[in-house]
Amino acid sequence: MKSTITLSRGAVSAEINTPQYGYKTRIRMAMSITARADGKTGIFDNGREFDTRYCDADFILDEIQAEKLHSMLRTDARGEELQLLVHANINPFGPDFSGGDRRFQVRIPESTLGNAEERPYLTFPTSVVFAMASAPECALPPKRDQGGNMAIAGIPGFRQPEDWPHQDTAYSVQTVIGYGGNGASEDRTDNSDQWTATIAATCNESMAARLVHELTQRVRAKTFTITSSTGMYIFGRDGQSANSYEVQLSDPEISVVHSALDRYTVTFSVRLKDYISKSQSSFSNSSVSLTSVSVSPSSSSDSLSSFSNSSSSDSVSIGPSISISVSSSSDSVSIWDSISWWVPPY
């Protein structure tokens, strides 16, 4: 394995040491994700061709390497697009862009050029942020299952995360205390509660590449399944199932840390999809039918005025002008939205 990477622009180049392990890939998918008031997730996906990828990397450079890199960034490559040549086992923009020698087109939006260090003697710590402009065609590495019993987005074989998922539950009750000490609360019911979790999956290169590829290329705004060991409770003790969850991404950014040879940590956040409230109700039986509609003249605005319920039929009367009768074998009927109809005069 070659222990250097090369930055170049035209005839000017700088060959420097590979980044220190712990470099991070930040993948931001071009999606807008919103937690809606009804507890569901609203996602608008602009398409993966608009995704962006960055690499935050730290280097330890000797005198010659530091001089070449600093000079290049200050003069010939100042604010320009560069070519980044990397070799096997170095994946600055994610394990799904792994392989042998690869050439990326990059820009450098940020760099910190350090002072000389005594230990190691005359070394120069340098931090660089690379922004990927284009990438070569890369095939996913050969599949190597980790032998675990966790499955994410249809990919089996993950081991349980070393750091268990961090869950965050937000109950949709807003409470305020007035000047007089009186309190008031607004409860939008537990249908609007939010259940999110952040998962940091520790993977080998093969599993990390497949997970990143699946989340960024196929899943995106879609619903997917996470299956874990019984008792992990990804969304907390009261977050429904103990080991299988239907989820959607809750954050468009995925981070990948390359912490050691063949060791990656892929971190992403999800929201439990359509949490089923214990108090949620609607028409409890499917045997509901519209039996009659009657209309009578009116010259005024009519709105919902009465509601009657029995075990055999449900009747809604809207002013003196319109009445609707619904027969049902159930006496459980929920009206979620207010209704107001205006009937024009004849």
Q: What pLDDT tens digit does each residue of the chain (346 aa) get?
A: 579 999 999 999 999 999 999 999 999 999 999 877 666 778 999 999 999 999 999 999 999 999 999 999 899 888 899 999 999 999 999 999 999 999 999 999 999 988 899 888 999 999 999 999 999 999 999 999 898 999 999 999 999 898 888 888 777 788 888 888 888 888 777 767 788 999 999 999 999 999 999 999 999 999 999 998 877 888 887 766 678 899 999 999 999 999 999 999 999 999 987 654 443 433 334 443 444 444 444 444 444 444 444 444 444 444 444 444 444 444 333 333 333 344 444 3
Tokens in use for 97? 């862009």
Q: Which amino acid is at 82?
A: L
Q: Please check whether residues 123 and 161 belong to one and the same domain.
A: no
Q: Please check whether residues 73 and 175 belong to one and the same domain.
A: no
Q: What is the CATH number of the domain that holds 34?
A: 2.40.30
Q: Please check whether residues 115 and 188 belong to one and the same domain.
A: no
Last residue of a domain, one of 134, 161, 195: 134
Which residues touch 73 (CB under 8 Å, ≥6 apart)? 108, 111, 113
**How many whole angstroms separate alpha carbon 240 and alpha carbon 201?**
21
Q: Please check whether residues 258 and 154 belong to one and the same domain.
A: yes
First to last CA, the chain: 87
Q: What is the residue range of 315's domain? A: 288-342
Q: Please check whether residues 65 and 177 belong to one and the same domain.
A: no
Residue 31's φ and ψ, nearest 5 degrees, are -130, 145
Q: Please check whether residues 185 and 79 belong to one and the same domain.
A: no
In the DSSP assignment, the letter for residue 236 is: -
Q: Are 245 and 235 in contact (CB under 8 A)?
A: yes
Q: Are 193 and 169 in contact (CB under 8 A)?
A: yes
Number of domains in the chain: 3
Q: Please check whether residues 179 and 216 belong to one and the same domain.
A: yes
Q: For residue 120, say if its preceding peptide bond is cis, omega within 30 degrees of 0.
A: yes
pLDDT at position 311, please? 43
In a domain, 250, yes or no: yes
In a domain, 45, yes or no: yes
Tell me whether residue 59 is exposed, middle or buried, using C-beta atoms within 10 angstroms of its C-beta: 0 to 12, 13 to 18, 19 or more.
Answer: buried
pLDDT at position 1, please? 58
In a domain, 279, yes or no: no
Q: Tell whether pTM > 0.85.
A: no
Q: Please check whether residues 218 and 334 belong to one and the same domain.
A: no
Q: Please check whether residues 324 and 212 belong to one and the same domain.
A: no
pLDDT at position 152, please? 96
Q: Please check whether residues 34 and 126 belong to one and the same domain.
A: yes
Q: Please check whether residues 315 and 252 belong to one and the same domain.
A: no
Q: Please check whether residues 324 and 231 belong to one and the same domain.
A: no
In a domain, 280, yes or no: no
In a domain, 142, yes or no: no
pLDDT at position 17, please? 97
pLDDT at position 233, please? 86
